[in-house]
């Protein structure tokens, strides 16, 4: 992410790939989503050191019984006072309900994929604001969006993160089979490469569709994306639901800020495709071809070491708080179901 070799990326390219720039034009091709303006106080909270989650109403009712212990945590430590985002919490709650109860969160460009280790179940599936904030606050990708979104742009000197209207994007949660996600590289309006999105795994089923996949994706591109997306050089991610049935997942800039997966940026930049290019689709062909997971470094997080050594006890408290909220929610859903059954 930090190595920027290509000279051609500019700030307007990065803006064109931000979620709210493209969503309204491609709404019918992608997952239902809501875009919420991120209040400045929530942005500051995400950038502040330490994790102290806001108290949600449903948590307070169970937490009030242990006031003494809470006081102990708070003694002489103003910074651990939980913030309150009453209005924002209500807006988020409404959006989550409208999207079916569970969502995938991201900001203008990135999702907190590097922070999924902090979530129970290791997923980005969220049902409430605290889960969302815990993920966002634990993610380097989110910090990058908030502080250095134009790092790789040759004209970044004229822009900073201050010129960005930050947004929280909530997308309806969808169970996606990782084997069916693909990244498509478009240069001068033409597809120059397609890669298996999760290149850290071998998926035997890809062999069966490899021959027809480029044609299917080219068809999807020419019908729905070419000429409609504002850039000539870009990258888009898709999900194959069935033969000739694709879901658009995301747009990314054509350059080092975007992972080139089974290609290299150098070859993507110099590639000439004449329509008969056999090598347009790359996937892992055998178990031995699997590359190490680039997010491996995030798996043994220093935060866990902090928790273990007791240098950041608040984080453990918040970790457990989110779990308590989740269990309370599950119990109340179970009660509702029991009521119906009775």
| Stretch of 35-43, 151-159, 172-180, 185-193 contacting ligand ADP, by CB under 6 A | 172-180
Closer to ligand ADP by CB, 176 or 190: give it.
176
Choose, by CB under 6 A, the member of 1, 4, 29, 174 that binds ligand ADP. 174
Q: Which does 169 bind (CB under 5 to 8 A by kind): ligand ADP, Mg ion, none?
A: none
CB nearer ligand ADP, residue 3 or residue 65: 3
HSE-CB of 130 using CA atoms within 13 angstroms:
26
Question: Residues 6 or more apart from 327 whose CB is under 8 A from it?
Answer: none
**Among 55, 56, 114, 250, contact with Mg ion (rule: CB under 5 A):** 250
Least Cβ distance, residue 237 to Mg ion (angstroms): 6
Residue number with CB closer to ligand ADP (23 or 319): 23
Least gap, CB of 78 to ligand ADP (angstroms): 34
Whole-number Å distance between alpha carbons of 25 and 313: 45
Minimum separation from the CB atom of position 114 to ligand ADP (A):
9
* Sheet-wide strand order for 33-37: 33-37, 167-172, 103-106
Count the site residues for Mg ion by CB under 5 A.
2
Nearest to 125 by CA among 320, 292, 305, 322: 322
Q: Pick from 39, 50, 138, 125: which is nearest to 90 by CA? A: 39
For residues 9 and 28, give the distance between their C-alpha atoms in angstroms, rounded to a whole number. Answer: 28
110 touches ligand ADP (CB under 6 A) = yes
Task: Give me 170's structure tokens.
Answer: 């909530």
Phi, psi of 127 (to 5 degrees): -120, -5
* 108 or 314: CB nearest Mg ion: 108
For residues 169 and 135, the answer to whether their CB atoms sit within 8 Å is no
Binding part of the chain for ligand ADP, among 48-56, 80-88, 107-115, 318-326 by CB under 6 A, reads 107-115
- Segment near ligand ADP (CB under 6 A), from 169-177, 202-210, 221-229, 317-325? 169-177
> Which residue in 240, 113, 124 sits closest to 179, CA to CA?
240
Judged by beta carbon, residue 128 or residue 149, the one nearer Mg ion is 149
* Three-class secondary structure assignment of 279-321: HHEECCCCHHHCCCCCCHHHCCCHHHHHHHHCCCHHHHHHHHH
CA geometry: angle 121, 88, 144, nearest 5 deg = 60
Q: Which is nearer to ligand ADP, 23 or 281 (CB)?
A: 23
CA 37 distance to own-chain centroid: 17
Helix then strand count (H, E) for the chain reads: 13, 8
Which one of the spans 1-9, 66-74, 103-111, 228-236 is the region binding ligand ADP (CB under 6 A)?
103-111
Compute the half-sphere exposure of residue 253: CA atoms within 13 Å on the CB side of its CA.
25
d(CA 72, CA 273): 66
Q: Which of 34, 137, 144, 197 binds ligand ADP (CB under 6 A)?
A: 197
**Residue 326 interacts with, from ligand ADP, Mg ion, none (CB under 5-8 Å by kind):** none
Q: Is 176 in the site for ligand ADP (CB under 6 A)?
A: yes
- Least Cα distance to 304 among 96, 115, 55 occurs for 115
Rg (CA), the chain: 22
Task: List the single partner that 104 binds among ligand ADP, Mg ion, none, CB under 5 to 8 Å by kind.
Answer: ligand ADP
| Of the candidate residues 34, 106, 269, 326, the single one contacting ligand ADP (CB under 6 A) | 106
- Tell whether residue 237 is a contact of ligand ADP (CB under 6 A): yes
Say whether residue 261 binds ligand ADP (CB under 6 A): no
- Provide, rounded to whole angstroms, the least separation between the CB of residue 173 and ligand ADP: 5
Contacts to ligand ADP by CB under 6 A: 31, 104, 106, 110-111, 113, 171-174, 176, 181, 197, 237, 249-250
């Amino acid at each position: 992410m930090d190595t920027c070799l290509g000279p051609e990326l500019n700030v307007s390219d990065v803006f064109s790939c931000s979620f709210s720039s493209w969503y309204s034009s491609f709404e019918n091709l992608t997952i239902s989503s809501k875009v919420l303006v991120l209040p400045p106080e929530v942005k500051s909270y995400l950038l502040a050191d330490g994790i102290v989650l806001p108290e949600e109403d449903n948590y307070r009712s169970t937490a009030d019984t242990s006031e003494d212990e809470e006081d102990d945590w708070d003694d002489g430590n103003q910074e651990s006072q939980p913030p309150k985002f009453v209005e924002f919490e209500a807006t988020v709650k409404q959006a989550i309900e409208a999207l079916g109860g569970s969502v995938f969160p991201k900001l203008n460009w990135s999702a907190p994929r590097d922070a999924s280790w902090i979530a129970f179940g290791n997923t980005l599936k969220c049902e409430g604001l605290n889960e969302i904030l815990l993920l966002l606050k634990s993610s380097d990708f989110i910090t990058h969006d908030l502080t250095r979104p134009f790092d790789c742009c040759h004209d970044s000197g004229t822009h900073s993160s201050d010129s960005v209207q930050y947004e929280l994007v909530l997308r309806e949660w969808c169970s996606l089979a990782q084997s069916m996600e693909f990244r498509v590289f478009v240069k001068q309006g033409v597809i120059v490469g397609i890669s298996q999105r999760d290149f850290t795994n071998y998926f035997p089923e890809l062999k069966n569709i490899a021959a027809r996949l480029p044609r299917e994706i080219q068809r999807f591109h020419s019908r729905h994306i070419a000429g409609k997306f504002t850039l000539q050089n870009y990258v888009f991610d898709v999900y194959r639901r069935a033969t000739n049935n694709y879901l658009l997942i995301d747009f990314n800039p054509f350059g080092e800020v975007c992972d080139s997966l089974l290609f290299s940026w150098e070859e993507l930049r110099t590639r000439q495709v004449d329509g008969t290019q056999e090598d347009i689709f790359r996937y892992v062909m055998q178990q031995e071809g699997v590359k190490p997971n680039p997010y491996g470094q995030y798996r043994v997080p220093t935060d866990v070491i902090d928790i273990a050594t007791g240098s950041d006890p608040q984080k453990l408290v918040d970790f457990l708080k989110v779990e308590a909220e989740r269990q309370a929610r599950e119990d109340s859903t179970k009660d509702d179901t029991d009521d119906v059954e009775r």
